[in-house]
Amino acid sequence: MALDALEAEFSDLAAAIAERLLPEEQFTLGLNAEQSQFVRFNHARVRQTGGIVDCQVGLTLMANQRTASWRFPLTGNWDTDWAIAADALADLRADLPHLPIDPYQVLPSGDATSRDVHHGCLLDPNAVVDAVLPEVDGLDFTGIYAGGRMLQAYADSVGQRHWFATDSFSLDYSLFTADGQAVKGTLAGSEWDAAAYAAKLADSKQQLERLALTPKPIPKGGYRVYLAPAALADIVAMFSWGGVSEASLQQGESALGALQRGDRTLSSQFTLRENFASGLVPRFNHLGEIAPMELTIIDQGKLVNTLVNSRTAKEYGKTANGANSAESLRSPEVCPGSLPAADVLTALETGLYLSNLHYLNWSDRPTGRITGMTRYACFWVEQGEIVAPIENLRFDESLYRCLGDNLIALTQQIEFIATVDTYERRRLGGMWVPGALVEDFTFTL
């Protein structure tokens, strides 16, 4: 199946459904597709390799204040696909009258259309192994290359149409020492650049050398820490899970309830916004609405906006701002601070340099407390010098402390942390974040 051929079929499908629509009906149609190459590595060898082609369409039918949806595959064969779509449409029509009335139903409206196609220069699927592995000969290299074309599209009964196609790849890897210490590296983009790969590896190898020392066990307690951008990104990602969603706040599920009520504060150094300027992810949502190019959510520690989709807006009398159905961050950016990257170790003085965190979860969501682990290239620092890698530690700390009074500084530079998730399908985009210097970060185990 050629993914590019799906644009015409998706359009035909929307037209065919529109043609058969009854006067009281409305519909939305969403599409997610990928042609992906996955090569999994372990010990600088190939563990698994293959390619997948997938396309799923979601049809939502609305009538008489009731809503239901069907998701089915689109294969590029019109006869097969239309037969399934027509059955889905008939089934939705049969179910709708028996469903409860939905007072917060949002019908498609507006006249937004868009078409963004980003062509890249990716490795040929049969060339990935030879491009990646010779460079890591002799290293304990593990990870995954995921690359190919991705599509997202939208159509509805009022004529809105969106098409987003992009070529993208990510190489997410780790290099290990013999005793299990590791460095994490990620290369992502739309063009494979052998020189950039070599440079990234050189940087990783340099970090790996620092891990050769015997790991230092650190007793539990409070320590001054530097959270490198990837580590801070893990904390900011928690804002998408019971954080910045207006529905979560209204329904008692948000850790930011205390911030909204004024019970707790965040540092004036902390500013979080959605910024779609990079164009890595589509701006349209599940109703075809376009999100603003920029939306500040936390401005110098103050919650100035939440993510509000049209359904939540209708339920709680708010103004929608193009949020997705989950009201999660899609293109977040934490604004930089004043700490030069070169001064990080000096400013840390004595404490922990944390490159990455792992397996974060709310340990007490209403108070913003998060637990998780340190992982990869984490060091004990004394008087501005790296002394030794550490044995991994468990932290349990409130975001109101680490991004509040205990936030000493953010770095001047922000880094792009690519999203490498591949549950169900490859994900796009990532997060721009600085590093953070934090006082008295709590470690419990």
Partner 1 sequence: MISDLQHLLSTLDLDADWIGLRAVRETAASCYVRDGLPEGNAKSLNQGVMVEVMAQGQIGYGAVNSFQPEQIRAAAKTAYQQAIVASRWGIYPATPAIRPKVVGQYASPFQKPLNALSPGEINELLVRLCKTLKVSEQIVQTLAVARHETVDSWFVSSNGSEVYQQLSLIETHYGAIAQDGPIVQQRSNNGHLAHCYQGGWELFLDDQLWSRAQHIGQQTVELLTAEECPTTRTTLVLAPDQMMLQIHESVGHPLELDRILGDERNYAGGSFVKPSDFGSLSYGSRLMNVTFNPAVPNEFASYRFDDTGAPASREYLIREGVLQRGLGSLESQARLGVPGVSCARASSWNRPPIDRMANLNLEPGEDSPAAIIADIEEGVYMEANRSWSIDDQRYKFQFGCEYAKRIENGKLTKTLRNPNYRGTTLDFWHRLSRIGNSETWEIYGTPYCGKGEPNQAIRVGHGSPVCAFEEVEVFGGG
Q: Is 104 in the site for partner 1 (CB under 8 A)?
A: yes
> Closer CB to partner 1, residue 32 or residue 269?
32
> Closer CB to partner 1, residue 16 or residue 84?
84
Residues 331-370, mask of contacts with partner 1 (x by CB under 8 A): ---------------------------xxxxxxxxxx-x-
Closest CA to 7 of 166, 163, 168, 167: 163
Secondary structure (DSSP) of 325-337:
TT---SSEEEPP-
Choose the binding region for partner 1 from 91-99, 222-230, 279-287, 300-308 (rule: CB under 8 A). Answer: 91-99
Q: Is 375 in the site for partner 1 (CB under 8 A)?
A: yes
The distance from CA 414 to its chain's CA centroid, rounded to whole angstroms, is: 16
> Closer CB to partner 1, residue 271 or residue 312?
312
Cross-strand partners of 442: 222
The distance from CA 76 to its chain's CA centroid, rounded to whole angstroms, is: 29
Inter-CA distances, 161 with 29, 59, 290, 434, Å:
9, 14, 11, 36
The distance from CA 137 to its chain's CA centroid, rounded to whole angstroms, is: 31
Residues 183-222, mask of contacts with partner 1 (x by CB under 8 A): -x--------------------------------------
Choose the binding region for partner 1 from 13-21, 73-81, 192-200, 202-210 (rule: CB under 8 A). Answer: 73-81
Q: How far is the CB of 37 from partner 1 (least distance, A)?
A: 8
Q: Is 84 in the site for partner 1 (CB under 8 A)?
A: yes
Closest CA to 108 of 72, 63, 151, 71: 63
Token output for 431: 């997060």
Q: Is 383 in the site for partner 1 (CB under 8 A)?
A: no
Inter-CA distances, 341 with 71, 338, 354, Å:
47, 9, 14
Q: Is 300 in the site for partner 1 (CB under 8 A)?
A: no
> Closer CB to partner 1, residue 255 or residue 437?
255
Residues 259-298, mask of contacts with partner 1 (x by CB under 8 A): --x-x-----------------------------------
Q: How far is the CB of 357 from partner 1 (least distance, A)?
A: 10
SS3 label, residue 310: helix
Secondary structure (DSSP) of 366-379:
GGTEEEEEEEEEEE
For residue 352, the surrounding DSSP H or E stretch is strand 351-364
Which residues, 43 to 72, sit near partner 1 by CB under 8 A?
Answer: 43, 45-56, 66-72
Choose the binding region for partner 1 from 97-105, 193-201, 208-216, 430-438 (rule: CB under 8 A). Answer: 97-105
* 410 within 8 A of 369, measured Cβ to Cβ: no
